[in-house]
Structure formats: structure tokens, C-alpha cells
Amino acid sequence: MRRKDKVFDDHPKEECGVFGVINVDNASEVMYYGLHALQHRGQEGAGIISVDQDQFYKVKGQGLVAEVFKESDLQALKGSAAIGHVRYSTSGGSLIENVQPLFFRHSTGDFALCHNGNLVNSQQLRTSLEREGSIFQTTSDSEIFAHLIKKDHQRNRLGAIKEALNKIEGAFAFLALTKDNLYIMRDKNSLRPLSLGKLNGGYVVSSETCALDIVGATFVRDILAGEILIIHQDNTMTQDFYAEKVYHNMCAMEYIYFSRPDSVIEGINVHTSRKEAGKILAREAFVEADIVVGVPDSSISAASGYAEESKIPFEMGLIKNKYVGRTFIQPSQAMREKGVKMKLSPLKSIVYDKRVVLIDDSIVRGTTSKKIIKLLRDAGAKEIHMRIASPPITNPCFYGVDTSTYEELIAASHSVSELKDYIGADSLAFLSIEGLYQATQKRKLCLSCFTGKYPTYLYKDVKDANKDQKF
Ligand code: SF4
């Protein structure tokens, strides 16, 4: 099921974040700080399931990490192993049952599961599993994976997992926890990041390296495309792969917008890549101006790069109220519009009578860009030249980002010149695809939302949502 309350914002919405701990004392406490560091990847819900020799313990709820977990919860979440999740409901809706990790009881052994990403063949698999007798507890596509594993429970556990992974298609970083092991699995296209760290003799695994740093873990390596890594209770590991052919299609939006600037995604620091994108943008789309202003917070790195390269001073022309929740967690369009105004204020003394280069990382609908430009004009800016540190988003994402239809994407139906007029800028330019390759120092990335070339087969339900479009 696709999210119904479409988000009216100029940024794509993060998918989710996962964090795992094994063989570490007070695993749930480590988990809490890990999830807190991943909060930017999802603010609708959070959950932790831990395990000791006797049983599993579970706490989950809707809201921010700091709201969901109390100190007493962390004490109740016993054991030296845990998995946790922060959620933004790209798939399955924002129901409490869909807050992960999910927990499953089975005669072959209980287990907990959490997932970052999105499956593109979930509807087909769900229908066929239901025909065969499966009853689903949630509308989340992550549960499908659990049913697939247990359907094949006659096989040994690793064999069943491999078989299940071969049936699902899409983007995933899965963590599964049993009484004995932590299972770490990454899709064969390596669309979503997942990194392993060492902590106090045990291990932690995280969607982003920023969370490894926060808990004091040492980065070990990234989980590989198609890899199944099992960390056992005695701290030994078993490595396997579910697919013979693997690909390197890291989501470009992780560098552009999703990940925290202090994270390192497949060897490249996010802030550095954003700053480099800003520098390249200054070379590709220079404009005479008095100041460079970045839309806080995610565009500050790119704005500093543009300023450095263009020799136009960087200025704090927009101030963000840090104590207002992200625009997209407010439910109605009217509330969201209010939220944008509450969130950003122009610094009149800085922008008055100035020619401003306004840097943002991406445009989805164009509505927020339009409002920010109006704010700057009302504050007296003489000219506003918008520069976007990514190419135009012209195609939906089916891999766990909430831009799943063409109607949501203004660049899918407007030329750059039309878009400039719509947002009310004096000029508008985007980073080129080549510029994005250079900024990330990678030639292999998922660029589907810019190019429309998808790394996986797209299944019927995905196509039905976009039936007027050709793939
Ligand atoms: S389509 Fe875009 S947002 Fe989705 S995984 Fe690919 S690069 Fe990332």
C-alpha cells in the first residue's frame, strides 16, 4: 500500500533507518543513541527489540526517539543484542502495527525483523502468500520477507533466508534477530547504505556511519551488495551471498539529501560530496551576485562550496527555527504551509537590496522553493538566482522514498524555464548528471529519479500507480 497523505514539500522524504547491536552490554542503551543519530531518516515512529538468554523484549511507538523511549523502557529492554528502527512510512501507512521491528513467533524459533527500503514486488508476493494461507499482521511490505522465510522452514535457516531474498526485488537493508544471532542483509543492487562497526568487543550495524561515531564504535566496513552476514553469540561471523550477480547502485539521494553530513557513504563523506557539488554547480551555472545563501540545513554544505568556487561571500540569509518539527510530520496541507513559515525566516539585514544566489539540494514539488523565494523578496532581496545541487527529479522512486508518482514531481511536467517562472526566481539552474558523478567520486549510482532508468524490474503494482507513463 502506498502512502496516501501526499507530502507537499520540496524534498524527497527519507525512507527509514536501522540499527543493530550484538554482544555489547546494555545493548538497548547503545541502541537508543544509535537511533537518535538516525532520527533524520524517519520521525513517525521508532522501536527496539532486544533479546537475552530467556526472551525478547519490545518497546515501540509513534513519534521521535526521545518521545517513544523512557529511561525505564531502556532498563526493561534487557540483553546484549537488539535491533531498532526509525520509521517514515513510505510503505504500509503510519499505523502503530507497522512501526518496526516486527516480531514473529514460530515453532522453528522466534525472531525480530526490521527493514530500510522498499520492495517493488510486494503486492504480487503478498497476494500469492495469502492464497497459500499466510495471514499478515501489518500492511508493511517488510512482513512479506518474514513469511517467505518461514514458508520454507523445512530447509536450514540460512538456506531459507537465501531463498526468500531471491524472491524479493527492490531496495533493502534487513536486520533480523534471533536468540543466537544477528542477521544482516543488503540487497544485490546495494541501493541503501549499511555499515558495520566494532564496539566494546561486540558489533553494531547502522544505516549510516554517523550513528557508529555517536555510540563510539569503530567503523569496520560496509555490508556488501547481496551479502548475508551472520554475527553469532560467540562473536564469530558467517558470511554468505544470496545472489551471484551484484551491482553498485547506491542511491544518489543519500549523498544529495538523506544522509547526515558527518556520515561516510561507501567511502565518501556526505558533507564533502555536497560541498563539491556546490563547487561544480558554481562552475556549471555561475551568476553575478552579492551573496550565496543556502536553505538550511541540508543545503549549507553545497552553498559553502558554491561560495568558495564563485568567490561570492556565503551568508546566513535564512535562519531555521530548530525547535519546529520537520514540515512533513504535520498532517494537513494547511498545517504544512504554516510549518514552512514557522521554520524559516529571512535575515532582512543580510538580504536587503542584495543579489542572492539561493542554493537548495533538490526540488520535488516546488512549493517550498516558491515560498522561500517570496520570503526573501519580501525581505528586500533585489534578485534571486536559484541553484539546485542535483539534477531535476523527473521520475518517481520505488525504492523507499516518498516520491512514487509523477504528479508529485514538478520537474516531470515543467521545463527549467517554466519551473523558474513557477517558483518566481530570476534564474534557475540544476547540477548536471556528470557533476553529480564527480561530486560523489562514483560512476555507479542509482540515478533513476533523474534518468528514469531503474536498476530493478518494475512490477505490475508499481506500473499501475503510474499507468500513463512508459518505463
Ligand atoms: S530513484 Fe532516486 S531516491 Fe530512489 S533510490 Fe534511486 S536515486 Fe535514490
∠ CA 122-128-129, rounded to 5°: 85
pLDDT of residue 404: 63
Residue 327 lies in a domain: yes
∠ CA 429-432-437, rounded to 5°: 145
Residue 1 lies in a domain: no
Residue 72 lies in a domain: yes
pLDDT of residue 156: 83
Closest atom, ligand 1, to C-alpha of 393: 2
Query: Based on the domain organization, do 73 and 222 belong to the same domain?
Result: yes
* CB 205 near ligand 1, within 6 Å: no
Query: Based on the domain organization, do 216 and 308 belong to the same domain?
Result: no
Amino acid identity of residue 401, one-letter, is V
Query: Based on the domain organization, do 222 and 332 belong to the same domain?
Result: no
Q: Return the closest-CA partner of residue 328 out of 44, 110, 132, 54.
A: 44
Closest atom, ligand 1, to C-alpha of 254: 8
pTM exceeding the 0.75 threshold for the entire prediction: yes
Question: Which of the listed residues 253, 254, 450 should we mutate to test ligand 1's pocket, taking the one with most ligand atoms within 8 A of CB?
Answer: 253
* CB 388 near ligand 1, within 6 Å: no
- Among the candidates 192, 216, 250, a domain finishes at 250
Residue 133 lies in a domain: yes
pLDDT of residue 448: 95
Question: Which of the listed residues 169, 251, 393 should we mutate to test ligand 1's pocket, taking the one with most ligand atoms within 8 A of CB?
Answer: 251
Contact 85, 101 (CB under 8 A): yes
- Alpha-carbon gap, residue 195 to 204, rounded angstroms: 8
Closest atom, ligand 1, to C-alpha of 396: 1
What does the block give as the cell for 170?
527492490
Query: Based on the domain organization, do 116 and 220 belong to the same domain?
Result: yes
Query: Based on the domain organization, do 237 and 333 belong to the same domain?
Result: no
Query: Based on the domain organization, do 342 and 459 belong to the same domain?
Result: yes
**Closest Cα to atom 4 of ligand 1:** 397
Query: Based on the domain organization, do 224 and 316 belong to the same domain?
Result: no
Domain that holds residue 121: 16-250
Amino acid identity of residue 316, one-letter, is M
- Alpha-carbon gap, residue 12 to 41, rounded angstroms: 11
Report the CATH number at residue 149: 3.60.20.10
Handedness of CA 240, 242, 248, 250 (dihedral sign): negative
* CB 265 near ligand 1, within 6 Å: no
Residue 5 lies in a domain: no
- Among the candidates 250, 279, 294, a domain finishes at 250
How far apart are the CA of 188 and the centre of ligand 1, in A? 15
Per-residue pLDDT of the chain (471 residues; tens, 9 = 90+): 233 333 334 666 657 999 999 999 999 999 999 999 999 999 889 999 999 998 999 999 999 999 999 999 999 999 999 999 998 865 555 567 778 999 998 877 899 999 998 899 988 999 999 998 888 888 877 889 999 988 766 678 899 899 999 999 999 999 999 999 999 999 999 999 999 999 999 999 999 999 999 999 999 999 999 999 999 999 999 999 999 999 999 999 999 999 999 999 999 999 999 999 999 999 999 999 999 999 998 899 999 999 999 999 999 999 987 766 554 445 455 655 555 566 789 999 999 999 999 999 999 989 889 999 999 999 999 999 999 999 999 999 989 887 767 888 999 999 999 999 999 999 999 999 999 999 999 999 999 999 999 998 887 666 666 555 544
With a CB cutoff of 8 Å and minimum separation 6, the contacts of 131 are none
Residue found by looking up cell 544518489 in the block: 252
Query: Based on the domain organization, do 45 and 189 belong to the same domain?
Result: yes
* CB 257 near ligand 1, within 6 Å: no
**Closest Cα to atom 2 of ligand 1:** 449
Residue 330 lies in a domain: yes
CA 225 to centroid of chain Cα atoms: 17
Question: Which of the listed residues 399, 436, 451, 466 should we mutate to test ligand 1's pocket, taking the one with most ligand atoms within 8 A of CB?
Answer: 399
How far apart are the CA of 253 and the centre of ligand 1, in A? 6
For residue 391, whether the previous peptide bond is cis, meaning omega lies within 30 degrees of 0, is no
Helix, strand, coil percentages, rounded to 5, for the chain: 35, 25, 40
How far apart are the CA of 180 and the centre of ligand 1, in A? 35
* CB 448 near ligand 1, within 6 Å: yes
* CB 449 near ligand 1, within 6 Å: yes
Closest atom, ligand 1, to C-alpha of 455: 6
Query: Based on the domain organization, do 196 and 88 belong to the same domain?
Result: yes
- Alpha-carbon gap, residue 403 to 220, rounded angstroms: 33
Report the CATH number at residue 389: 3.40.50.2020
Query: Based on the domain organization, do 102 and 191 belong to the same domain?
Result: yes
State the total domains in the chain: 2
Residue 92 lies in a domain: yes
How far apart are the CA of 25 and the centre of ligand 1, in A? 37
pLDDT of residue 4: 33
Query: Based on the domain organization, do 187 and 57 belong to the same domain?
Result: yes
For 341, other C-beta atoms within 10 Å of its C-beta total: 12
- Alpha-carbon gap, residue 466 to 42, rounded angstroms: 25
Residues carrying an active site annotation = 16
Q: Return the closest-CA partner of residue 43 out of 90, 11, 6, 86.
A: 86
Query: Based on the domain organization, do 204 and 311 belong to the same domain?
Result: no
Residue 35 lies in a domain: yes
* CB 256 near ligand 1, within 6 Å: no
With a CB cutoff of 8 Å and minimum separation 6, the contacts of 316 are 293, 347, 350
How far apart are the CA of 371 and the centre of ligand 1, in A? 26
How far apart are the CA of 276 and the centre of ligand 1, in A? 20
Closest atom, ligand 1, to C-alpha of 192: 5
* CB 379 near ligand 1, within 6 Å: no
